Amino acid sequence: MRTAALAYTPYGYIDSQAWLATLLGFNGEKNDPLTSIYPLGQGYRSYSPTLMRFHKPDNLSPFGQGGYNTYAYCNCDPINFRDDTGHARTFAQLRKFWVEHSQSAQSSTTPLIRAPKKKVTFNRKITGRIYTGEHDVQRARLIEEKQSLQVYIYKFTQRVKRKTEDFNFLMEPSTPDLAKSFGISEERYQTSLEALATWLDDAQDRLKNLNSTLRSYRV
């Protein structure tokens, strides 16, 4: 049996060809094969490794555990933290537990001596490199995600139109008598009508969220 090691960027990006080698993705999370995003927190928020952020703001931000940046993943520190809930990075959630238990526990070891902290200077020039190849790959991935989402929205919109036509037909005054002639009871007719109306309401909300996600792509 052959095994392969997968290399992710700190924010979880990986080449599209490597997705074929695993069922689980970044941090052991399952990704959406259509859009290549991660529905973290059981679908609470969708995280894109390509964008390196969430698609919608956190309801715990900016004054709660979510931090000041409502779209940030792990408060922009994915090296030392992870975010499984879509709300707050894991270390922030466990910090209180660790502090309480570390203070109450009696240590039998020699106390640690902290080394002096290094001074941070802010007048130093910052230099960096831009890797055009990686940028081109990320842009191509974004375009691919956006096109896939556009196709999905189009197909779902067509389905909503067909369901709307069915609903309008059921609302016509002559339709109940026609249904009765086919042996459909009035109770069954009303149940079908209410179920279709509920589906259409949910579909409109879903389309609104999908289009909001589509507008977040800056390509």
Question: What average pLDDT score do residues 86-97 get?
Answer: 58
Residue 162 has a pLDDT of: 93
Question: Would the pLDDT of 123 be above 80?
Answer: no
Mean pLDDT of the chain: 76
Least confident of 19-28, 88-97, 132-141: 88-97
pTM over 0.75: no
pLDDT tens per residue, range 152-207:
999 999 999 999 998 898 888 888 888 888 888 888 888 888 988 999 999 999 99
Q: What tokens appear for 124 in the block?
A: 């130093």
Q: Are 66 and 58 in contact (CB under 8 A)?
A: yes
Question: What average pLDDT score do residues 131-142 get?
Answer: 77
- The candidate with the shortest Cα–Cα distance to 134, out of 6, 7, 20, 9, is 9
Least confident of 96-105, 186-195, 203-212: 96-105
